[in-house]
Structure 1
Amino acid sequence: MSDLRVAVLGVGIMGADHVARLTSKISGARVAVVNDYLTDKAEQIAAGIPGCRVIADPLDAIADPEVDAVVLATPGPTHEKQLLACLEHGKPVLCEKPLTTDVETSLEVVKREAELGKRLIQVGFMRRFDHEYAALKAMLDSGELGRPLVLHCAHRNPAVPPSFDSAMVVRDSLVHEVDVTRFLFDEEIVSIQIIKPSANPGAPEGLVDPQIAVMRTASGKHVDVELFVTTGVAYEVRTEVVAEKGSAMIGLDVGLVRKTAPGNWGGQITPGFRERFGAAYDSEFQRWVDAVRSGVNVDGPSAWDGYAAAAVCEAGVQSLGSGQPVEVSLVSRDSIMGA
């Protein structure tokens, strides 16, 4: 079977990482086309890959007959048009979150895909491919812990770009815990409240940080998430499930633990998302390539998962403004054939 010819649209931080991943770590695929609004950047990356071309227009790159599948690492506002183009041309696509930047367009993408009668869109919620999250999911599914009751999460970054605003804490950070909740519990989130504790004096002016998200699932499970994106320390992601027969926690960074004089005890905290989730990205991409080559197209979070996450985050942004719990507005999945 010949290699999958992939077009990578957007070669900023994430896109460039994905180009390198597909080129050096993933079997069965090659980067055939790159695209970026910074043409010089695209040409620089393409020059290092044999047979790779630069196509200036992303829609032309999607339509190119020598492209079998697409990776979207472009800015969120461009996703709707690019995803619809992928559907129009029947091209499987791995889309970095968000699916789109608002609930209405996300739902439209879900409906358009459903009309085709086959799934072509996979959303890049890479935590589902992390070995710790996979182990936690398997434990819950086995029934070893009994019925899950509570989920405690922490999501901390050392710093964020100057352009990062309070709503982005919900849409760009919390969105991962939203998907993790749905993945672990296999049910939808029905309400969310954003609580604003005392602000971090070191946060940029105008950024509400930290934030606490409190969510409730359809069956009444409680989820709380500490979001703190300007800790100045390191990258920390922890998840603890409390159930009727015990609890389980992941994300403790328990690698080498050292004890030295005079009475020091400690280890290493993960410095960034690449170190923490690099293997998950590798697994995500390899499984996606294998699925597309076998004709399955999707081996992970679907367009529906992207839409559901967008709906929860939209309610979260509303709660950020009001401070009150907000019900999540989600159409019935059964109302969309094939979703």
Structure 2
Amino acid sequence: MIRQLVDVSDVTALVTDAAAAPSLHNAQPWKFRFLRERGVLRLYADLERALPRTDPDNRNLHLGCGAALLNLRVAAAASGRGPSVRLLPDRADPALLAELDLHAHTPADAALAELHPAISRRHSSRHPFRDEQLPDGLTDRLCEAARGEGAELVFPGPWHVASILELVEDAEGREAVDLGVRDEMAHWAHATSTDAPGTSDGIPAEAFGPRQHGGAGFPVRDFAAGRKMPGRSWAAFEKNPHIALLGTVYDRPEDWLRAGQALERVLLRATADGLVASVTSQPLEWPELRWAARDPVSDMAYVQMVIRVGHGPEGRPSPRRPVADLLDVE
């Protein structure tokens, strides 16, 4: 019989893994509540950490929280649990995004449990990757990981990759003249004082990666956004980046949560298979550019994230909020 998971220390470990998920600008827009007597762990959106100029409809917020939810499921599976999960269980409370019944007597998902070691190793790498082909088996496993969460992952052809890089460049140009978006990024991306005591969120300068040297179409977001960063290096990025589009059939909050789970499952699968990755939502943050990012030969109706994968240096860990700030126990 499956042991009931009611110990607060075990729940704390689950939330620690959940909080390692990626989120827009590493804002970590989540919080958790454990209902001890019921054995229920709830995931809430922390709307105080929303980015209203960059993410006005909170789509990216839901993606980040979905990624945290996938980590919860992976951690639970690794501990031998198979919690039942309900998305958006209370329509009267849209901030309540998911509810996990930790008392459920469902067998643990072995495929999820296998990904658990990758949680602590997964970090966005904004460095150049090697210009080399990826074996079909690797890309097939990534696509299968997305399908396992009800999403689709597509590796578009060279011409479409080039157009996506142009869309990223277009989005950066729009950001450069939008003071609100620039201020929001500057708040979360720490171009200076990256080792300041107490820093527990945002992107540290060491994780920005180098500036691109030569060529057009930058495959990762430049968090410096025109700010001076003495000592930051320059580098030539790969000429033919491996870009994948993650998308869904519909574009509702529940689809964003599923896409967030698919995103993290893809990233953990990539990490477990020895790949590194980075993501960008820049061209998806502008409605007219998001539509153009679609792959016209796929059934994907809504692109939720642009993912870059390959072989290269691992990324630097970003700071994390203490679990004590994230978890309430009742």
Asked if Structure 1 and Structure 2 have the same fold, meaning a TM-score greater than 0.5 normalized by the shorter chain, the answer is: no
Q: What TM-score do you get using the length of structure 2 for normalisation?
A: 0.25
Larger strand share, 1 or 2: 1
Q: Which has the higher contact order (CA 8 A, sep 6+)?
A: 2
